[in-house]
Structure 1
């Protein structure tokens, strides 16, 4: 009687474990949590600890993909637009002003790209929403708990986490995100996620209402002067999407064009009254700081306008030319504008590729949200609204949770809807107007 070799038995057991749905679920949750809590993790155990966690997650994700290789359609795995962007970022290493930093930045970018790809391939959209919901509830609850401890119980800042302890004064609070603006952005993503969970009945009504209240309270006390516009844009997007889903399929293209024209008009009016808008949103001089920084970036972009200075991701204040951006002894860790940041790092060519990638991803996601019956397809489009709008005053879209979430939305949209059949009328049988 033949016996199975121990090594083969061990490999079979490992494949069974790594390929199990429960393992994919756990790894997805941990990957999302690591992306969102990267700043807090880095504050506690430093860059080496965070990099070790990310590297371990990438290895586990790769092993899990190998274990599930039979169920994956490898052809057309990544959207071409995403590949082109990553390829151009990689090429900049040849003319980068800081080559080893570029190599490290590219490795960090590739790691979160891999994790986003894994999540998009291994989990359905509703499973992704649930994973984000669980992580975001934890992040907001713990953030408020630390703020209560710091601002009410000990009345002292928790400096290593960036918590200033201003809750008793009504804010601003930073939570586990490091800054009030980042906490505000995360609160809006959380509100979108919790609302989707509630509409899809993925969680109980009491938990959904509590979660939405939690997101609202966190956003309010963050006192972020820069998310007011994002809230307005998100609210308009929700109303527009709600109305669009009730338009008959035959008229949906006309409705989309009318909506596009309306957006163009609003953008034009906002541009005409930009000085007044700047005055209304310049709370605490935050916008003045950004405008000064952006002017300095544009001046340096002139030295390498087409190819850029080289990819870096997070800025390195100790490496030229980043010390030149010090404003009142404050050296920013990013360009505080993802689009301008990409232009600075990757040049006009890279910025053009990035805008094309973001536009294509959003258009695909928006079309799916307007056509698909299940409301869960609205989540990627609305999350992209938050990410792409907040990218006007933060660069978080390019790193960690921002890039991870963007890649998930990008890959999911590409898998669900090819641009060649995006405007097909009538749509697929599933794409009926939502009457619920």
Structure 2
């Protein structure tokens, strides 16, 4: 019978650390919160506005309770203060709002979304956050294709919100148009192809990052990516196609930046990036007729130019402070007098987040939103291109996880040119969540906010051969020890 030596060279073997049930339940709740944001209008289409409002408010209250119970480490001096300033200005608009009821109700949605974003970012580590987003996206993609299959196989005709089978005055009213087998545009559980397209693109990005991180069950991940690509193509959203092009440009530029050995070597990449960005924007504008015709869209962006003109005319009457916060528009409010219609239906957004904010919060609101996105893009960019470093060691490997915030920024900025989606639901949530997370945890796996979980499984984690106290770094071969000072390095 083997016995341990009285003078062992190492600690005796012990069972692996296992996650506590409470932490597993917390992560499951975060997945549900992310799913609610990503699925968007699916809840309203399925159970109605009142039930959705009750669930949303109850979810926000529960997250606040969990936040106070878990009490994750939060550096309050490193909160995303531009986000706080934007929310504060939106709140102040109650004082002069032309539609106070709409402002009060939509402010509640803004508060809940902001709190949920900060909550999820604070209780999950970076790797857990990406895994949770991937899980939520799997639910959205799976339910979208199953919903379209159910409508096409068992219903056999378009369906209205509330699972009502009937004839609509305009196809825009349908929850699903029964297009799965006839080659038409798919709308998924959101009931809108322009909402499904960007979410499917986000799913492709997240699943690709999971694959690059060495996640297990890779065959299934490839399957999820193919399903997301199928829904992305079938959504046929021109905005999503342009966002995909922007994601490709940003990704290539980041990978080239990472190959630069000296800070000065990045200059040529920045110049090329600026030329491609400016040149692409000018080309798109000058050749917009041909581009949108090729994408099957009208040259006026499917009526968006007319909507922009009407909203801008309304904004000009109160240029500095706007008419009052209203995201989304509540056209059922008699005081809300922005009467813009499309296909005979009252629209609930300006189809451009900058124009939308100019009407609601004026020039001051636009400046604050620009600062929110500038700070987010700035931090997420260097989070992706700079090598992780918190001491003298400068050869730590990059993490695929750091690509996600900057690629999400590319999607939202492009989407914001033709949609107001980045101002609410998953668009606003992801901006706040990543902005706060980068400030709280600027390095993946390092710092108090990254050491709260008992264990993180599912990704390839390489040990740090230097024996540092810092947690292991994700991805890539184990780096070599740095040379000692004075050794001729």
Tell me which residue corresponds to 2:411: 386
Tell me which residue corresponds to 1:165: 178
Tell me which residue corresponds to 1:258: 271
Equivalent pairs, count: 407
2: CA distance between counterparts of 1:329 and 1:169? 26
2: CA distance between counterparts of 1:230 and 1:67? 39
Tell me which residue corresponds to 2:114: 113
| Matching residue within 349, 359, 365 for 1:350 | 365
| Matching residue within 219, 224, 236 for 1:211 | 224
Structure 1 stretch displaced more, 173-182 or 316-325: 316-325
2: CA distance between counterparts of 1:116 and 1:206? 31
CA contact (8 A) 1:19 1:68 kept: no
After TM superposition, the structure 1 = structure 2 runs for residues 183-262 of structure 1, keeping only pairs within 5 Å, are 183-251=196-264, 253-255=266-268, 257-262=270-275
After TM superposition, the structure 1 = structure 2 runs for residues 3-82 of structure 1, keeping only pairs within 5 Å, are 20-69=22-71, 71-82=72-83
Structure 1 stretch displaced more, 222-231 or 383-392: 222-231
CA contact (8 A) 1:116 1:408 kept: yes
1: CA distance between counterparts of 2:141 and 2:267? 40
CA contact (8 A) 1:42 1:50 kept: yes
CA displacement, residues 273-324 of structure 1 (integer Å, 9 cap, x when unaligned):
4455455446167714111101111111111111111101111123344452
CA displacement, residues 110-169 of structure 1 (integer Å, 9 cap, x when unaligned):
001000000111111211111111111111111111112222443211211611101111
SS in 2 for 1:119: helix
Unaligned runs of 5+ in 1: 1-17, 419-428
1: CA distance between counterparts of 2:262 and 2:23? 36
Tell me which residue corresponds to 1:413: 438
Tell me which residue corresponds to 1:10: none
2: CA distance between counterparts of 1:113 and 1:252? 38
- CA distance 1:275–1:217, shift in 2 (3 Å): closer
| Matching residue within 290, 304, 311 for 1:290 | 304
Tell me which residue corresponds to 2:141: 140
Largest Rg, 1 or 2: 2
| Matching residue within 142, 158, 176 for 2:189 | 176
CA displacement, residues 320-343 of structure 1 (integer Å, 9 cap, x when unaligned):
444521244121111111121111
Tell me which residue corresponds to 1:9: none
| Matching residue within 316, 324, 337 for 1:302 | 316
2: CA distance between counterparts of 1:393 and 1:24? 36
Structure 1 stretch displaced more, 110-119 or 77-86: 77-86
After TM superposition, the structure 1 = structure 2 runs for residues 422-433 of structure 1, keeping only pairs within 5 Å, are none
Tell me which residue corresponds to 2:422: 397
2: CA distance between counterparts of 1:154 and 1:310? 43
| Matching residue within 326, 329, 336 for 2:344 | 329
RMSD across aligned positions (CA):
2.6
CA contact (8 A) 1:198 1:204 kept: no
CA contact (8 A) 2:39 2:190 kept: yes
CA contact (8 A) 1:301 1:344 kept: yes
Structure 1 stretch displaced more, 253-262 or 176-185: 253-262
CA contact (8 A) 1:136 1:190 kept: yes
CA displacement, residues 7-43 of structure 1 (integer Å, 9 cap, x when unaligned):
xxxxxxxxxxx99422320221111111122411112
2: CA distance between counterparts of 1:132 and 1:198? 14
Structure 1 stretch displaced more, 396-405 or 273-282: 273-282
1: CA distance between counterparts of 2:181 and 2:279? 42
- Structure 1 residue 250 displacement after superposition: 3.0
Unaligned runs of 5+ in 2: 1-19, 163-174, 388-397, 444-469, 478-489
2: CA distance between counterparts of 1:323 and 1:362? 32
2: CA distance between counterparts of 1:169 and 1:198? 33
